[in-house]
């Protein structure tokens, strides 16, 4: 697959990040449609969580999850760029540390973070996994 972002001129300093985000949003939209089609509980999208925790400077945390079911304490993250040459955002050391911090905060607040890949979404595996995760947290049809 051609990397369109690498071919664009950098007139916008954030062009590459915007294109990567748009690619991942495509899979988030697909998973949202699958959630609706399978009649799962409606999630909150781009849900801010951990705001009750503060950073070292005293500011509230600003973590965001692609999907959240607060009543089940379940967060779902669609992880893109897994097979990208050079890795995706989650393979950079700084971002790995950020993801670890998010996981630590989730445990402290009794949230379960459920990651799925874009391939999971495309292949229909993600929706089955999300159903099982919700059921494990108490959801019934």
Q: Where are the domains of the chain?
A: 4-136
| pLDDT tens per residue across span 94-133 | 778 988 999 999 999 999 999 999 999 999 999 999 999 9
**3-class SS at 13?**
coil
What pLDDT shows up at residue 141?
Answer: 87
Question: CA–CA separation, 63 vs 57, rounded Å?
Answer: 16
What pLDDT shows up at residue 95?
Answer: 79
pLDDT at 83 over 60: no
104 pairs with which residues across the strands? none
Question: CA–CA separation, 87 vs 81, rounded Å?
Answer: 6
Superfamily of domain 4-136: VSR Endonuclease (3.40.960.10)
Q: What is this structure's pTM?
A: 0.77
Identify the residue with better confidence: 1 or 125: 125
pLDDT at 28 over 80: yes
């Amino acid at each position: 697959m051609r990397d369109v972002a690498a071919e664009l001129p950098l007139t916008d300093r954030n062009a590459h990040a915007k294109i990567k985000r748009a690619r991942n949003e495509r899979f988030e939209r697909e998973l949202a449609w699958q959630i609706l089609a399978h009649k799962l509980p409606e999630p909150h999208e781009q849900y801010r969580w951990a705001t009750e925790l503060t950073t070292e400077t005293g500011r509230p945390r600003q973590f965001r999850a692609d999907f959240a079911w607060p009543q089940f304490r379940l967060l779902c993250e669609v992880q893109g760029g897994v097979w990208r040459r050079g890795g995706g955002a989650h393979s950079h050391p700084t971002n790995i540390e950020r993801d670890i911090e998010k996981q630590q905060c989730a445990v402290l607040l009794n949230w379960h973070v459920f990651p799925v890949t874009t391939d999971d979404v495309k292949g229909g595996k993600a929706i089955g996994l999300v159903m099982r995760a919700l059921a494990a947290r108490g959801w019934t049809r």
